[in-house]
């Protein structure tokens, strides 16, 4: 694998942030802003990897050409010192394969492939979809299991079948069934990443390799410390970090939509990344005031 940070037990690194996409005031991709944000996440927030063109990157409203532009900008900025994982999942197998091949040509280190959404395929359809995507390139694949958005969970039996594919190596889990995931980990070599910041610490306790985070935009360094503390046996220290960050998770993930609040939080840190694209809407003044209180309560230093 081409990743500069991965290991066999954490193939994409341990601390990753699902990066928002900076836009200009008129809604165009801000390429320089993309590179500034990627550099900040790696150099200041201790991210070992970055996921681009995922849900948090507003992939539903970026074109294929924009996705490639964003990916290439991130690779140029940090691709020599961080794992860059490209979102390539759609609810169309052929389109997803095209995105996967484009990401491979651009130099991505891996692929994030979400469960097909809206058309709600049966488990055999999921198996064939993910297998076709893994066969379409030579890149390692992280499955993204988030039934709250897609309407369809990846069943334990399906994950076990998929784990036999040599390029399907990991799962970003936002399903939250830690027992089922433990069964998969006991039966396969699949590596699990927490895809829900509210349960990052519990995931470590059952063998999760790390996080694919949204709050990592503002507390990535703290989350990296949590992982390091837990893995070195300092469980109480990791729990202390977890508890300290509860207001941050609440503010970004629970007040309204995560992309909206992640972008708003970056603005409060003095790192504006522009607006969201419709049908999302930017945070209101009232939401910003509450978010500011949440971030301060979680120990985040805001700009003056």
> Can you tell me the distance from the alpha carbon of 248 to that of 239, in angstroms, rounded to the nearest whole number?
15
For the residues 43-69, what does the mean pLDDT come to? 98
Residue 133: C-alpha distances to residues 34, 63, 95, 114, 140 (Å): 27, 19, 10, 11, 10
Contact 195, 220 (CB under 8 A): no
What DSSP string describes 206-273? TT--EEEESTHHHHHHHHHHHHHHHHTT-HHHHHHHHHHTHHHHIIIIISS-HHHHHHHHHHHTT---
Q: What would the pLDDT profile of 147-166 be if each residue is shown by its tens digit?
A: 999 999 999 999 999 999 99
Q: Can you give the pLDDT at residue 4?
A: 73
Query: What confidence category does residue 131 fall into, taking pLDDT thresholds of 50, 70 and 90?
Result: very high
Asked if the model's pLDDT at residue 270 lies above 80, the reply is yes
Q: List residues with catalytic annotation.
A: 144, 172
- What is the rounded average pLDDT for all residues in the chain? 96
Place of tokens 């091949």: 101
For the residues 252-277, what does the mean pLDDT come to? 96
Residue 23's φ and ψ, nearest 5 degrees, are -120, 155
Contact 50, 19 (CB under 8 A): yes
Q: What would the pLDDT profile of 196-226 be if each residue is shown by its tens digit?
A: 999 999 999 999 999 999 999 999 999 999 9
CA 24 from chain centre, in angstroms, equals: 22
State percent of the chain over pLDDT 90: 96
Q: Can you give the pLDDT at residue 303?
A: 83
279 token code pair: 């049908």
Asked if the model's pLDDT at residue 120 lies above 80, the reply is yes
What CA dihedral angle connects 239, 258, 7 and 235, to 10 degrees?
0
Collapsed DSSP state (helix, strand, coil) of residue 113: strand
Q: Can you give the pLDDT at residue 304?
A: 73
* Length reported for the chain: 304
Q: What would the pLDDT profile of 1-35 be if each residue is shown by its tens digit?
A: 456 777 889 999 999 999 999 999 999 999 999 99
Residue 71: C-alpha distances to residues 111, 136, 247 (Å): 11, 18, 31
Q: Can you give the pLDDT at residue 3?
A: 65
> Can you tell me the distance from the alpha carbon of 79 to that of 63, in angstroms, rounded to the nearest whole number?
22
């Amino acid at each position: 694998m081409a990743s500069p940070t991965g290991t066999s037990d954490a193939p994409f690194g341990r601390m990753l942030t699902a990066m928002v996409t900076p836009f200009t005031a008129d809604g165009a991709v801000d390429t320089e802003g993309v590179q500034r944000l990627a550099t900040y996440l790696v150099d200041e927030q201790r991210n070992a990897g970055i996921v681009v063109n995922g849900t948090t990157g507003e992939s539903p409203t970026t074109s294929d050409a924009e996705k490639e532009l964003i990916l290439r900008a991130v690779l140029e900025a940090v691709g020599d010192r961080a794992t860059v994982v490209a979102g390539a999942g759609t609810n169309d197998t052929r389109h997803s394969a095209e995105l996967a091949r484009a990401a491979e040509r651009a130099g991505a280190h891996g692929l994030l492939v979400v469960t097909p959404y809206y058309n709600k395929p049966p488990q055999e359809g999921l198996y064939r979809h993910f297998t076709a995507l893994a066969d379409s390139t030579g890149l390692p694949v992280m499955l993204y299991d988030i039934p709250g958005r897609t309407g369809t969970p990846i069943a334990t039996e399906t994950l076990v079948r998929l784990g036999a594919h040599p390029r399907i190596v990991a799962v970003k889990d936002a399903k939250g069934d830690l027992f089922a995931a433990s069964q998969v980990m006991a039966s396969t070599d699949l590596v699990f990443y927490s895809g829900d910041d509210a349960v990052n610490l519990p995931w470590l306790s059952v063998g999760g390799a790390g996080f694919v985070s949204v709050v990592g935009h503002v507390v990535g360094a703290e989350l990296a410390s949590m992982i390091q503390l837990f893995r070195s046996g300092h469980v109480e220290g990791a729990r202390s970090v977890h508890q300290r960050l509860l207001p941050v998770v609440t503010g970004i993930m629970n007040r309204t939509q995560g992309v909206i609040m992640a972008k708003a939080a970056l603005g409060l840190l003095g790192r504006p990344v522009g607006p969201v694209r419709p049908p999302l809407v930017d945070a209101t003044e009232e939401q910003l005031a509450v978010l500011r209180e949440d971030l301060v309560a979680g120990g985040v230093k805001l700009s003056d």
